Amino acid sequence: MKNLSNKVALITGASRGIGAKIASQMAAAGAKVIVNYSGSKSDAEKVAKKIKTNGGDAIAIQADVSNAQDVKNLFDTAMAHYGKVDVLVNNAGIMINTLIKDTTDEDFAKQMDVNVKGVFNTLREAAIKLAENGSVINFSTSVNRIMLPTYGPYVATKAAVEQLTRVFAKEVGSRGINVNSISPGPTNTALFTKGKPEAVINRLASLSAFNRIGEPEDIAKIVTFLASDEAKWISAQNLGANGAMA
Residue 64's CATH number: 3.40.50.720
Q: How is the chain split among helix, strand and coil, in percent rounded to 5?
A: 50, 15, 35
Q: In what order do the strands lie in the sheet with 8-11?
A: 57-62, 32-37, 8-11, 87-90, 135-139, 178-184, 238-241
Domain that holds residue 200: 8-241
**pLDDT for res 182:** 98
DSSP assignment of 178-233? EEEEEEE-SBSSHHHHTT--HHHHHHHHTTSTTSS-B-HHHHHHHHHHHTSGGGTT
- How far lies 114's CA from each of 64, 133, 154, 213, in Å? 8, 27, 11, 25
Q: Is the dihedral of CA 116, 119, 121, 123 positive or negative?
A: negative
CA distance 191 to 94: 8
The reply to whether 2 falls in a domain is: no
**pLDDT for res 25:** 98
The reply to whether 236 falls in a domain is: yes
Nearest to 103 by CA among 25, 156, 59: 156
The reply to whether 174 falls in a domain is: yes
Nearest to 77 by CA among 87, 62, 91: 62
Nearest to 235 by CA among 226, 243, 244, 246: 226
**pLDDT for res 192:** 78
For the question of residue 154 being annotated catalytic, the response is: yes
How confident is the prediction along the chain (246 residues), in pLDDT tens digits per residue? 689 999 999 999 999 999 999 999 999 999 999 999 999 999 999 999 999 999 999 999 999 999 999 999 999 999 999 999 999 999 999 999 999 999 999 999 999 999 999 999 999 999 999 999 999 999 999 999 999 999 999 999 999 999 999 999 999 999 999 999 999 999 998 877 888 888 989 988 998 999 999 999 999 999 999 999 999 999 999 999 999 999
Q: Of all helices (H) and strands (E), which one includes residue 1? A: none
**pLDDT for res 2:** 85
Q: Largest Cα–Cα distance of the chain, in whole Å?
A: 50
CA distance 188 to 105: 29
* Tally of domains within the chain: 1
The reply to whether 47 falls in a domain is: yes
The reply to whether 56 falls in a domain is: yes
The reply to whether 232 falls in a domain is: yes
The reply to whether 246 falls in a domain is: no
The reply to whether 193 falls in a domain is: yes
**pLDDT for res 1:** 64
